[in-house]
Structures are given as structure tokens and as C-alpha cells.
Amino acid sequence: MENHPDPLQRLEEIRTKALAEAQTVQGEAELSQWRVVHLGRSSPLMQIFSQLPQFPKEMRPAIGQRANQIKQSLEAALVELNQTLKEAALRHSLEADRLDITLPGRRPAPGRLHPSTQILREITRIFAEMGFQVYNSPDVETDEYNFELLNMPAYHPARDMWDTFYTTKPGVILRTHTSPGQVRVMRERSPEPIRVILPGMCYRYEPVSARSEMQFNQVEGLAVGRHITFGDLKGTLTDFARRMFGKDVRIRLRPSYFPFTEPSAELDIECFVCGGVGCPVCKGSGWLEILGCGMVHPVVLQNGGYDPEVYSGYAFGMGPERTAMLRYRIEDIRYFWENDVRFLEQF
């Protein structure tokens, strides 16, 4: 732009140029550039203000007044442009980040209970309905509670029934069954009557195969009182089997041996897969082995602080994984602790 000698003329040029350039501004960076060029300290307009004293005195009011008007209109243009740019930016981001609220939501994948936990809860619920309390005893046990107090002194041949994980601390082992909890409850409750179940993980030093794991759950049951009979045991277990496996299920008790019960028995239920006819699940026998049980041995009662001349009791122990395997036809016990979701999400 040529510098017009007439300051008023020059002011009009400044105004026209600034407003024309304002039309082409795009984006905030260009706008702040525009502000520096046209309203900044060394802009032509500001130079007019600083040159004011050099103009002839009678011209100064008119120049000053017009310069102020132009300054105000440029400032107004700036505000307006700023607003327009902000709106455009907002419109753009609304457009770009648009949410499609008609899209169906993404379903969270809900976790679910491990099959062992499901069965454990079911067993617990059934016994709770029959008046049993839940008692927890430790996974890390002593040889004394796991064997000795259960009528298996050192070198007792029946110890062979349980392959044991020993620790570096003499006498400290991982429990091989939940039965040691029996003596712990008795010692805590004596001489009160007892009706408890003891659920928990057990550990055995065994090669892992489709049929046996080195860890698995058991649920122990114990009732102690003045007049408890084998009939009570049979009645309780029959009731349990019906609630767990169906109201028409038949059971049978087979004589067996455990050092901590006398007499001892094993409970079979009629195979719920074939109804007792014989199938691969029951290996043709028509029966499924569910648990071990018996009348608490006098020595064990004694060890628990109950006089066997006055008190009697029954006990039983079952494996929830085994029950789950039968119920859901799981063919390999190793699936339980492999934590493969393809297995777990089926339950």
C-alpha cells in the first residue's frame, strides 16, 4: 500500500485493508496474526496515533476521532471473528466426535462362579437348611491333627491312604483331608453338641492325572451329641442325596474302613445318568460313589474332649469336584485348576 500523504485518506485505506483481510482469516493462529498486524503496537493504525502530534494542530481532532472509530470497528471485527471461529470449531468437533446413540451397547462379559464354588455353595445351603454350621479349619496342618488325633499314630499303615506334602518344618504338613477339622471343632465346643460342616482345599502328593489332582476340595461333616446313632447318619445323608441329586434318588451304604470312624461306610447313589441300568459314567455298576462316612471312633471323641461313654457322633467327607464331574460329565479333573475360560464359561 502506498503511504497516502493525507492522513484521513490513509486511515480509510488502513480500515479497508484490515477488514478485507479479516474476511480471509481461517483458524485461531491466523486471527492472532491478524490482530498483531492490524491492531498491534507497530500496526499502521497505531502509528497514526503516535504520529498525531506531527500533524497540523487543526487537523488533529478529526484524525484522532476517525482513528478511534476505526480502532473500535477493528476490535469489534476481532471479537466477532473470534466468536465465529469458536463456533466453527465446536461444530466441527461435534461433527467429528458424533456418538451414535442408536448403536446397541456393548455387553460387559460377566464373570461367573467356578463350578467347584457353585457345588460347594449348594452343599453348604443344603446342610445349612438341616441346621449345620460352617466351620473353617486351616489348610496348613500338623501331623498331629491330620493323623495322630484321628487315630493314626506314627507308622500306622492307614497313613498310606494319604500321600502327604511335608514342609521343611518338622510336623507341619498340608492337610490331606478336612477330617483334622473334626478334632479342632470338638476341642473348641466340648461339651456342647456339634453339628457342623467343614469345607476346604486338601492337598496330596500324587501324580496329577485325569482322575486325581494334587489339590481338591472336600466337605467334612460332623455331628456329636448324647444320642447320635448310625440311623441319624443314614437319615441325614439320604436327605442330603435327595436334595442334591433329586427326590427319588436311591442310595446304598457299603461297609468300608477309615481309622477315625467305627463302623465306617461309603455312600453310593444310584447313577443319575442311566438310572441304575449301567452306563459308562457308573462303569456299568449302576452306582456312583459319593462319600466316606461312619460313627466317630471313640479314640477321636476322646481326643476332642468328649467322653465316648456318654457321647457319640457321626462324620462324613465328600469331594465337591467329584460331584461336579458326575453332574456335568467332566471327564478330566485337571480342568478345574487350569483356569481355561473355555472350560469355566460353560457353567
The residue (of 11 and 244) whose beta carbon lies closer to ligand DAH is 244
Sign of CA dihedral 99, 101, 102, 108: positive
224, 290, 293, 324: residue in contact with ligand DAH (rule CB under 6 A)? 293
Relative to beta strand 312-318, strand 287-296 is antiparallel
Is 216 a residue that touches ligand DAH (CB under 6 A)? no
Q: Cα separation of 318 and 200, whole Å?
A: 11
The residue (of 149 and 293) whose beta carbon lies closer to ligand DAH is 293
Is 177 a residue that touches ligand DAH (CB under 6 A)? yes
294, 304, 313, 320: residue in contact with ligand DAH (rule CB under 6 A)? 294
Residues in 80-139 that interact with ligand DAH by CB under 6 A: none
Cβ of residue 261: shortest distance to ligand DAH, in angstroms? 4
Residues in 251-270 that interact with ligand DAH by CB under 6 A: 258, 261
The residue (of 64 and 308) whose beta carbon lies closer to ligand DAH is 308
Contacts of 258 (CB under 8 A, 6+ apart): 158, 264, 292, 294
Stretch that binds ligand DAH, among 86-94, 133-141, 164-172, 314-322 (CB under 6 A): 314-322
Q: Cα separation of 195 and 30, whole Å?
A: 85
Cβ of residue 163: shortest distance to ligand DAH, in angstroms? 12
Is 179 a residue that touches ligand DAH (CB under 6 A)? yes
Cβ of residue 317: shortest distance to ligand DAH, in angstroms? 3
The residue (of 7 and 181) whose beta carbon lies closer to ligand DAH is 181
Contact 131, 195 (CB under 8 A): yes
The residue (of 48 and 315) whose beta carbon lies closer to ligand DAH is 315
Q: Cα separation of 325 and 336, whole Å?
A: 10
Cβ of residue 145: shortest distance to ligand DAH, in angstroms? 12
Is 147 a residue that touches ligand DAH (CB under 6 A)? no
Is 146 a residue that touches ligand DAH (CB under 6 A)? no
Stretch that binds ligand DAH, among 61-69, 280-288, 311-319, 331-339 (CB under 6 A): 311-319
Q: Cα separation of 214 and 181, whole Å?
A: 20
Q: What residues does 288 pair with on adjacent strands?
A: 269
Stretch that binds ligand DAH, among 9-17, 126-134, 187-195, 290-298 (CB under 6 A): 290-298
Question: DSSP states of 225-238 as a string?
Answer: ESS--HHHHHHHHH
What is the spatial order of strands in the sheet that 287-296 belongs to? Answer: 133-134, 194-203, 215-225, 312-318, 287-296, 261-270, 251-258
Query: What count of Cα atoms within 13 Å lies in the side-chain half-sphere of residue 155?
Result: 0
Q: What residues does 270 pair with on adjacent strands?
A: 287
- With CB atoms as reference, the residue minimizing the distance to ligand DAH is 317
Contact 85, 27 (CB under 8 A): yes
Phi first, then psi, for residue 5 (nearest 5°) are: -65, -30
The residue (of 33 and 164) whose beta carbon lies closer to ligand DAH is 164
List the alpha helices (DSSP H) in the chain. Answer: 7-24, 27-39, 44-51, 60-96, 115-129, 143-146, 180-189, 230-245, 298-303, 320-328, 335-338, 341-344
Q: Cα separation of 9 and 236, whole Å?
A: 112
Is 220 a residue that touches ligand DAH (CB under 6 A)? yes
145, 316, 335, 336: residue in contact with ligand DAH (rule CB under 6 A)? 316
The residue (of 38 and 177) whose beta carbon lies closer to ligand DAH is 177
The residue (of 11 and 185) whose beta carbon lies closer to ligand DAH is 185
User: Which residues are at the interface with ligand DAH (CB under 6 A)?
Assistant: 177, 179, 220, 258, 261, 292-294, 315-317
